[in-house]
Amino acid sequence: MTTLAMRNEAAPLFGSAHQALLFAYTYSPHQYGNAAAAERSIAMFGRSRYEVLHRSSGRGLFGLDGAAQAGMIKAQVQTMPRLMQKVIEARFAILSPRVQRLAMIELALRAREQLPDRNVKLAVRMTQRHYCGEIKLMQLAVEHELSERSIKRRWAVVRTMLQQFDLQAMSRVEILLERMGVAVALDD
């Protein structure tokens, strides 16, 4: 690649797929700049605001640029197989509790198949533990009247399955976001 071509090529906005997904799923629609009419009004009545330059050192995605970038990242996630979409939503949709909860329930239905008694409620709680980390194993043992040993065995099986899903989904999304030029590849 020539030096000129390398200079013209834009650097990715995010250092990793994780950063890109975190941005996309936590982008608030209220993160926008002032409308043009508001800017004119501020300029007329608040000249001092424009006399001091406010520059940030970061890349700062906001307004339509930020919304568009978040939308494009989410659109890439939507091209993935459904199970992988649910993994991404369970991990990153922290500002959309309903979306996150539904994703975890769908993953829990898969996890249920790994449990000897096919207990859906236990699978849901273990999936919540994996993605949110707020549930203690002993709490689950008491809730479901299981021994400590039994709950640890079940947790190990469910956790292994969910970790496999996580690895598959993140590998796929890293490739998609790298091709899109949004995130840096792990190899770099």
The domains of the chain are located at 14-188
pLDDT digit string, tens, across residues 79-112: 999 999 999 999 999 999 999 999 999 999 999 9
Length of the chain: 188
Element (H, E) at 114: none
Straight-line distance from the first to the last Cα atom of the chain, in angstroms, rounded to the nearest whole number: 16
pLDDT band at 11 (very low <50, low <70, confident <90, very high): confident
The tally of CA atoms less than 13 A away on the side-chain side of residue 54 is 4
- Residue at 89: amino acid letter: E
Average of per-residue pLDDT values in the chain:
80
Which pLDDT score, from 0 to 100, does residue 30 have? Answer: 54
**Whole-angstrom Cα Rg for the chain:** 22
Residue 30 DSSP symbol: T
Cβ pair 107, 87 in contact under 8 A: yes
Q: Which residues pair with 183 in a beta bridge?
A: 14
DSSP track, 43-107:
HHH-HHHHHS----SS----HHHHHHHHHHHHHHHHTS-HHHHHHHHHHH-TT-HHHHHHHHHHH
pTM score over 0.85: no
Give the span between the Cα atoms of 101 and 134, in whole angstroms. 14
The strand pairing partners of 14, in sequence order, are 183
As a whole number, mean pLDDT of residues 8-15 equals 69
Angstrom distance (rounded) from CA 111 to CA 1 = 47
Neighbours of 1 (CB within 10 A): 6
